Amino acid sequence: LSHRPIITLTTDFGTNDHFVGVMKGVILDIVPEAEIVDICHSVQAYDVLDGALTISQAYSYFPNRTVHVVVVDPGVGTARRPILASSDKYHFVAPDNGVLSLVYARENRMHVRHITAQHYFLQPVSNTFHGRDIFSPVAAYLAKEVDSLKFGEELEEYVRFSAPKPKAVDANRIRAVVLKVDRFGNLITNITPQDVPTLFGEGAKSFKIAVGNREITELRSAYAEGAPGEVIAILGSMGFLEIAANRGAAAQLTGASKGSEVSIILGDAAAAGKGA
Amino acid sequence: LSHRPIITLTTDFGTNDHFVGVMKGVILDIVPEAEIVDICHSVQAYDVLDGALTISQAYSYFPNRTVHVVVVDPGVGTARRPILASSDKYHFVAPDNGVLSLVYARENRMHVRHITAQHYFLQPVSNTFHGRDIFSPVAAYLAKEVDSLKFGEELEEYVRFSAPKPKAVDANRIRAVVLKVDRFGNLITNITPQDVPTLFGEGAKSFKIAVGNREITELRSAYAEGAPGEVIAILGSMGFLEIAANRGAAAQLTGASKGSEVSIILGDAAAAGKGA
Amino acid sequence: LSHRPIITLTTDFGTNDHFVGVMKGVILDIVPEAEIVDICHSVQAYDVLDGALTISQAYSYFPNRTVHVVVVDPGVGTARRPILASSDKYHFVAPDNGVLSLVYARENRMHVRHITAQHYFLQPVSNTFHGRDIFSPVAAYLAKEVDSLKFGEELEEYVRFSAPKPKAVDANRIRAVVLKVDRFGNLITNITPQDVPTLFGEGAKSFKIAVGNREITELRSAYAEGAPGEVIAILGSMGFLEIAANRGAAAQLTGASKGSEVSIILGDAAAAGKGA
């Protein structure tokens, strides 16, 4: 091979069973020189949006020609298609259920193929573990530089969805949502600087963010700027507004969790609200 | 070396401590070019059968000459022996407590040796962490192609047990057990198509499976064939009958867990039971 | 490169998010031939002492020239400095918050540098994820054999603390503490043979150890020497006295946990205590 092949794995398989180890065995049996990297195996079970969010946060840091395998696959064994999506830099191997939606949103010129070349599969193919029988061997052959054209025909249509976006309720009110809670109890919202520019930067208006049982009126720039027990807002490393706490868990302090509503009131309305 | 050495790790050490990292350090210090693959570190603590099940599900997917290290070792520091079991394709390094039993059941012509060559150990050898002091360095030297003969004498007798098998209660009744609950809450039973052929395939008789507080009368072929909240039976990727639910946790829905009884009634008795 | 570059990761990032996968992507993009080894990602969140303990237990087993990355970093985004600490054998990349204290205590002749060479950073540098933006790329360039001198000026002063030591209350009484609870529920105390030599070895005096709701009067040499439900003391693989149980969790049996007090009474006072 002309370079060291790198394959990443993102699944909802957890690490309590043999599933991930089996996938690695299948890959190494085909391409023993591969470097296999776990991105995350704790995607919420069956949660395609959570998987989409995870791979979209990680894939772009890897070297050119990395093969990313993404298996969150509640429809395994049904008519849902296995796909190979290729951009200029990367290959993605996944079920066609939208788990690559946030990759499609960031990468131009994706070619998406229906994987049908069964001679690359591990036989017999089960109805319950395509991570082992289809996605891993296909990734391994891609890492061995088998041409993507050989895996199947290009698709015009494939499943994609949009991540939930903040919604303007009126001129000064925005309704957003907690996309996920991270390991530290930070609440990752779906608010980006593009969505609500007036929250961020130099000309930022005054605002009030309500989440769970707390209200926040200021943006901080580091977790450590929070006082003990204080709930703060910060532009996090994922590119989203986070609700956080210094050495504490905002999820616990606010009572909010994944899916909780986040309300933003901008400008004078927020200031008025403060006085109430 | 003539090939890339691959070493797998299966333990009950968990991933909350430094234990697994230390084993990897010991291995890489001896054979820096090794690829170390985690199969699973969440074997139930001290549970030799759970360890046996885990390695038996995963080992055969790996390339020829892979060295599999299996450490579930409640007897560490006692007279239980460290062993090296070798088949035509693989080496297994483990304590002699039966954790390789399900490998012995699948692999013909295993040679099992008592590891006594202390010059391959990390000195001084502790009484509490042979994963670090014995199993890891022995695996590393095997990966470096030290001949298995050099580690100790072959054993005629070594510890092996049988996995619990389904038992016929009478001509139409079978009593089985839940071997484990996987990450998705699927109940993995000990029922295989060899054990109860009449459950599977074209000529399958009617049946009734009772587990926890539920009864199941049909076999499905994909998880997604279940209705919301329905508990289904399926031949799973491990080769066992699984009790499962579509996007749900059968363990929770049935109230059953590891060790729970699974009762099967075959044929007319099942049909009669349905009417009752 | 003259050898296979090895980089280890020790963090409090957990494995439920994309954080660790992102760090690996950043590293491999710079040095694709690196072998990246997870030591532990379950350091207690924000707990610098727990991180110090974890890396101090593992680093010395790795080959010469391993680069150890340690990120437990509650002060990320503040004035706390990123540092590179180098011994004869290893490099350590970490925040300057004391997380390397127990490494400093074991390694002579450490050179500690303030990492200031921003051209080795991933730009733009965030205020919340220096594991991605600073520590990973610096580790990768070190693994590529960039000279440590190039990362910044050597520091005379840097943050270090001492691990809590057992304290003599009087001639026969010592007060110690539970440093951590491991995966098996073993209570790792801060008592070493150097601290309390009379507990260990041939000339050991009689003693009584009180922890939680239990008292222990004998040292055992293997976990399996404990009777069912018995709580025992043992010199563990970490070099500390452990309170343990045979196939059981001492934490549960004693009611003690991280930070719990451990009292030792030596000699006649212990014997007298036994009679009471």
Q: Are B238 and B203 in contact (CB under 8 A)?
A: no
Q: Measured between alpha carbons, how far is A219 from A234 in angstroms, rounded to an integer?
A: 6
Task: Give the whole-angstrom CA distance, residue A203 versus residue A199.
Answer: 8
> In C, residues 220-249, which contact B (CB 8 Å cutoff)?
221-225, 234, 236-237, 242, 246-247
C180 contact partners, CB below 8 Å, separation of at least 6: C50, C53, C188, C258
| Peptide bond between residue B137 and the one before it cis (omega within 30 degrees of 0) | no
Residue B238 dihedral angles phi and psi, to the nearest 5°: -85, -5
Contacts of C242 in chain B (CB under 8 A): 128
Whole-number Å distance between alpha carbons of A204 and A219: 10
Cα angle A185-A107-A12, degrees, rounded to a multiple of 5 = 40
Q: Please check the confidence at residue B220 and state whether its pLDDT lies above 50.
A: yes
Report pLDDT for A275. 42
> Is the Cβ pair B15, A17 closer than 8 Å?
no
Mean pLDDT of B54-59: 98
Residue B275 pLDDT: 42
pLDDT bin (cut points 50, 70, 90) of residue B132 is very high
For residue C96, the one-letter residue type is D
CB-count burial class (<10 Å; 0-12, 13-18, 19+) for B273: middle
Q: Considering the entire predicted model, what is its pTM?
A: 0.95
Bridge partners (DSSP) of residue C220 are: C234
State both tokens at B171. Answer: 């001509």
Q: Which of B20, B32, B128 sits opposite C237 (nearest CB)?
A: B128
Q: Which residue has the higher pLDDT, B147 or C203?
A: B147
Residue C33's contacts (CB-CB under 8 Å, 6 or more residues apart) are A4, C1, C4, C5
- More confident call, C242 vs B275: C242
Task: Give contacts of A128 with chain B, Cβ < 8 Å.
Answer: 222-223, 234, 236-237, 242
Place B272 in a pLDDT band, splitting at 50, 70 and 90. low
pLDDT exceeds cutoff 90 at B268: no
In this predicted structure, what is the pLDDT of residue C275? Answer: 42
pLDDT tens readout for residues C42-68: 999 999 999 999 999 999 999 999 999
Q: Where are the beta strands (DSSP E) in chain B?
A: 6-11, 35-40, 67-71, 82-86, 91-95, 111-114, 167-170, 173-181, 187-189, 207-211, 214-216, 219-220, 232-235, 241-244, 261-266
Query: What is the token pair recorded at C176?
Result: 């110690």
Q: What φ, ψ does residue B108 adopt, rounded to 5°?
A: -80, 160
Q: Cα separations (Å) of C147 from C69, C143, C151, C164?
A: 17, 10, 8, 35
Task: Identify the CA nearest to C71 among candidates C89, C37, C96, C90.
Answer: C96
Residue B271 binned pLDDT confidence (cut-offs 50, 70, 90): low
Nearest to A76 among B35, B59, B222 (CB): B222
pLDDT of residue A1: 66
Three-state secondary structure string covering C199-261:
HCCCCCCCEEEEECCEEECCEECCHHHCCCCCCEEEECCCCCEEEEECCECHHHHHCCCCCCE
Looking at every residue in chain B, the average pLDDT score rounds to 94
B215 bridge partner residues: B210
List Cβ neighbours of B269 (8 Å cut-off, separation of 6 or more): B172, B173
By CB atoms closer than 10 A (0-12, 13-18, 19+), residue C191 is buried
Q: What are the two backbone dihedrals, phi and then psi, of residue C113, each rounded to the nearest 5 degrees? A: -120, 145
AA letter at A223: Y
| Average of per-residue pLDDT values in chain C | 94
CA angle, A193 then A195 then A199, to 5°: 50
- Cβ–Cβ below 8 Å for C75 and A224: yes
Measuring CA to CA, which residue among B276, B166, B270, B186 is closest to residue B233? B186
The pLDDT value recorded for residue C44 is: 96
Per-residue pLDDT averaged across B23-45, rounded? 97
* Mean pLDDT in residue range B175-204: 92
Residue A202's pLDDT is what? 72
Instruction: Tokens 């039966």: give the residue.
Output: B98
Per-residue pLDDT band at B202 (split at 50, 70, 90): confident
B260 interfaces chain A, CB cutoff of 8 Å: no
Closest CA relative to residue A128, chosen from B168, B142, C221, B237: B237
Chain B contacts of C200, Cβ < 8 Å?
A: none
Cis before A124? omega within 30: yes
**Across the interface, do B14 and C237 touch by the CB < 8 Å criterion?**
no
Local confidence pLDDT in tens for the 276 residues of chain A: 668 899 999 999 999 999 999 999 999 999 999 999 999 999 999 999 999 999 999 999 999 999 999 999 999 999 999 999 999 999 999 999 999 999 999 998 899 999 999 999 999 999 999 999 999 999 999 999 999 999 999 999 999 999 999 999 998 999 999 999 999 999 999 999 998 888 887 777 789 999 999 999 989 999 999 999 999 999 999 999 999 999 999 999 999 999 999 999 998 767 655 443
Chain B residues with CB-CB distance to A132 below 8 A: 61, 237
Three-state DSSP at B54 gives helix
Distance from CA of B67 to the nearest CA of C (A): 18
**Taking CA atoms, what residue in A is nearest to C33?**
A4
A16 contact partners, CB below 8 Å, separation of at least 6: B40, B42, B182, B183
Q: With the C-alpha atoms ordered B20, B26, B29, B30, is the resulting torsion angle positive or negative?
A: negative
Pairing state between β B35-40 and B6-11: parallel
Q: What is the pLDDT of residue B108?
A: 85
Residue C252 to residue C258: CA distance in whole angstroms: 12
pLDDT for position C1: 66
Least Cα distance to C237 among C201, C200, C188 occurs for: C188
Extended strands (E) in B12-148:
35-40, 67-71, 82-86, 91-95, 111-114
Closest to C116 in 3D by CA, of C83, C90, C93, C144:
C83
Nearest CA of chain C to the CA of A157: how many Å? 29
The segments of chain C whose pLDDT lies below 70 read 1-2, 269, 271-276
Predicted confidence (pLDDT) per residue in B63-121, tens digit? 999 999 999 999 999 999 999 999 999 999 999 999 999 999 999 889 999 999 999 99
ipTM for the complex shown: 0.95
Do β-strands B67-71 and B91-95 pair in parallel, antiparallel, or remain unpaired? parallel
User: Cis (ω within 30 of 0) for the bond into B124?
Assistant: yes
Encoded tokens for C188: 């790792």
Tokens 């389904």 belong to residue: B166
Average pLDDT for B213-233: 94
- C-alpha–C-alpha distance, residues C258 and B255, integer Å: 33
Provide the token pair at A213. Answer: 């049982």
In this complex, which chains have at least 3 CB pairs below 8 Å with chain C? A, B
Of A4, A35, A222, Cβ closest to residue C127: A222
Tell me which H or E stretch contains C179: strand C173-181
The whole-number average pLDDT for the span B256-268 is 93
User: Structure tokens of C85?
Assistant: 């600490």
The chain C residue lying nearest B25, using CA atoms, is C62
Q: What one-character DSSP code corresponds to residue C33?
A: T
Q: Which residues pair with A10 in a beta bridge?
A: A40, A70
Between C21, C33, C128, which is nearest A8 by CB?
C21
Q: Which of A130, A154, A127, A152 is nearest to A142 (CA)?
A: A152
pLDDT at position B205 is: 79
Query: At residue A274, what are phi and psi to the nearest 5 degrees?
Result: -60, -40
Which pLDDT does position C27 carry in this prediction? 98
Structure tokens at C136: 């990973």
